[in-house]
A and B are shown apart, each in its own frame.
Chain A
């Protein structure tokens, strides 16, 4: 077997020139943002002897009187309406605990899922007992954030046919701050695969389903073998997303697609080699910049 070996490379220095404007609003923990008491204390700040002080490293955001500091990297902070991909961690009484890379495990109540047999079905005691038949530990689901509790935990729902249990596909985990908020997070990419860009940084790649849905209520998962060509497209997409994430490019349908197209001249496994990654990401950046203006 041929083994690919490489020598350690020197870390690339990123030129910091021409960015003085951005540097002004960057703060580190302990930096005093303002001594003016007229402002309101937002996330990422605290009051230290009447002085508004940053508690995380990041950018200062000001909305009228409210000052927040947004850290560059955090765990996922859920907002109502977000699309998330999560993994069932626990089955409890009338609820599932879902791991969504949030600060606390999210809950999916039995009353906020669509059970097979239509919308208006009553939930009986049998349903409670057979919860594990619908979703069991380790299953992946896509869902929407229904509410945020006071302690920061999320309540999810899957009351739409586009949400539910995920079948065959590939999960990629990236930092939640890299997923761009968009009108829709479900895309059927023209390259022949579908993508769910979870706001929590979990990205699900799967072959585009043939026919849109049946009566199973989203709990039926096909175990049909996936064609090799589909699997190749998915693997390529996965490597592209990892490449974009490594270079901290925002992820949304266009950037993923552009990256996919610029990677076509390389073998799938080569995309993860640092020099190829760099080239592919650079091309993507250029195309994105062209498109913007």
Chain B
């Protein structure tokens, strides 16, 4: 590695966090009127915007219609200004297609799709600012948007990345830590039941360390779920007060 010390002797990371500490998460639901559900989420300096349309009739090709469940359509994109280097990002490049597919699989595991036969749910996520953990920010934002749209889910889906440096798992890595090229494990969890919606790992890791890493990732996801829970409950109470019931 390029001489960057990701974990100091005192146990602090580059941005001053402890190894298990998450970045600050701030979120808001219902940011757009036009969409059925929407959410804005900041996870440290990573910012994601998620919009949900549906369930609605399947548009486009009739071949997509599923007669026993809803089709989930995800689209992931990054803003041109989201990274340090300004770059045009055409739709459908390999990275975003892969990310869209991951999001789709994650939400197929969580949304009760069998309740909406012959329909379609669109989830569009955009990264406005990228500082590592794009996948997890997208999942967390999209979860809030799906809840805002009133679409039934088994549970929240919470995602977090975990890295592994000096035999220590690092929760919720930022861009500087990710770009080191070390192990990076992304986990999407349904926290209450502890079911895994998606698990992805880049780079190599010794089998003996996998359990510690998974343990750390699950704890981190549960931490995220607490924050999301607070956001949703706050939003619920505000809406109930406004409608005056």
A binds B: yes
| A interface residues with partner B (beta carbon < 8 Å) | 11, 14, 16, 19, 22-23, 26, 28-30, 44, 46, 48, 53, 55-59, 71-75, 89, 103-105, 151-152, 178, 245-250, 285
| Contact in complex: A56, B239 (CB < 8 Å) | no
Asked whether B232 lies within 8 Å of A57 as measured between CB atoms, the reply is: yes
A-B contact pairs, 11 of them (CB 8 A): A26-B233, A28-B233, A29-B147, A29-B152, A29-B156, A30-B191, A103-B56, A103-B116, A151-B117, A151-B118, A249-B243
What 0/1 readout, one digit per residue, does chain B (178-205) give for beta carbons within 8 Å of chain A? 0000000000001111000000000000
Residue total for B at the interface (Cβ-Cβ under 8 A): 43
Q: How far is the CB of B95 from chain A (nearest CB, A)?
A: 30
Residue of chain A at shortest CB distance from B36: A75
Q: Does B229 contact A (CB under 8 A)?
A: yes
Give the docked Cα–Cα distance between A28 and B233 (Å): 7
Q: Is the CB of B147 within 8 A of A22?
A: no
In the assembled complex, B215 has its CB within 8 A of some CB on chain A: no
Q: Are A72 and B237 in contact (CB under 8 A)?
A: no
Q: Contact: B155 with A29, CB < 8 Å?
A: yes
The residue that B240 contacts in the complex, of A19, A44, A55, A151, with Cβ under 8 A, is: A19
Binary contact readout B115-156 vs A (1 if CB under 8 angstroms, 0 otherwise): 011110000000000000000000000000001111111111
With A22-B245, A46-B152, A151-B118 known as contacts, the answer to whether A104 contacts B236 (CB < 8 A) is no
CB distance from B241 to the nearest CB of A (A): 6
A272, B194: Cα distance in complex, Å: 46
Contacts of B237 in A (CB 8 A): 16, 19, 22-23, 26
**Of all chain B residues, which has the CB nearest A245?**
B33
Given A16-B238, A26-B240, A55-B154, also A74-B245 (CB < 8 A): no
Across the A-B interface, how many residue pairs have beta carbons closer than 8 Å?
112
Residue of B112, B152, B191 with most partner-chain A CB within 10 A:
B152
- For the complex, give the distance between the alpha carbons of A206 and B191 in Å: 51
Smallest distance from the beta carbon of B181 to chain A beta carbons, Å?
36
Please provide the 8 A-B residue pairs with the shortest distance between their CB atoms, ordered closest to farther: A71-B150, A30-B155, A74-B150, A55-B152, A248-B242, A29-B153, A105-B57, A30-B192
Docked pose: A53 CA to B112 CA in angstroms: 13
Please indicate which of the listed interface residues A46, A72, A73 has the most CB atoms of chain B within 10 Å of its own CB: A72
Instruction: Kindly provide the distance from the CB of B108 to the nearest chain A CB, expressed in whole angstroms.
Output: 15
Q: How far is the CA of A142 from the CA of B61 in the complex (A)?
A: 29
Contacting pair B240 A72 (CB below 8 A): yes
Pair B242/A28 contact, Cβ less than 8 Å = no
Chain A residue at minimum C-beta to C-beta distance from B28: A11
Given known A75-B36, A103-B116, A105-B57, contact A22–B240 (CB-CB < 8 A): yes
B18-49 residues at the A interface, CB under 8 angstroms = 28, 30, 33, 36-37
Cross-chain contact of A19 among B112, B147, B155, B241 (Cβ < 8 A): B241
**Residue ID in chain B nearest A20 by CB atoms:** B237
User: A57 to B154, Cβ gap below 8 A?
Assistant: no
Q: Are A55 and B112 in contact (CB under 8 A)?
A: yes
List CB contacts (< 8 Å) of B75-124 with chain A.
Answer: 112, 116-119
Provide the bound-state CA to CA distance between A290 and B36, in Å: 33
Residues of B within 8 A of A247 (CB): 242
CA A246 to CA B243, docked complex, whole Å? 11
In the complex, what distance in Å separates the CA atom of A57 from the CA atom of B57? 23
Give every chain B residue within 8 A of A249 (Cβ-Cβ).
242-244
Contact partners of B150 in chain A: CB under 8 A: 56-58, 71-75
Beta-carbon contact of A103 and B242 below 8 Å: no
Q: Are B156 and A75 closer than 8 Å at their CB atoms?
A: no
Nearest-neighbor residue (CB-CB) of A46 within chain B: B112
B152 touches A48 (CB 8 A): no
Q: Which residues of B contact A103 (CB under 8 A)?
A: 54-56, 116, 119
Bound: A105/B65 CA distance, A? 14
Cα distance, A238 to B152, chains bound together (Å) = 32
Q: How far is it, in angstroms, between the C-alpha of A75 and the C-alpha of B236 when the chains are bound?
A: 17
Which residues in A have their C-beta under 8 angstroms from that of B55? 75, 103
Partner of A56, one of B151, B233, B240: B151
Q: In the complex, are the beta carbons of A57 and B236 less than 8 A apart?
A: yes
Question: Using Cβ atoms and an 8 Å threshold, which residues of chain A touch B193?
Answer: 48
The CA-CA distance from A159 to B136 in the complex, in Å, is: 52
CB distance from B232 to the nearest CB of A (A): 5
Taking CB atoms, residues of chain A closer than 8 Å to B239 are 72-73, 248
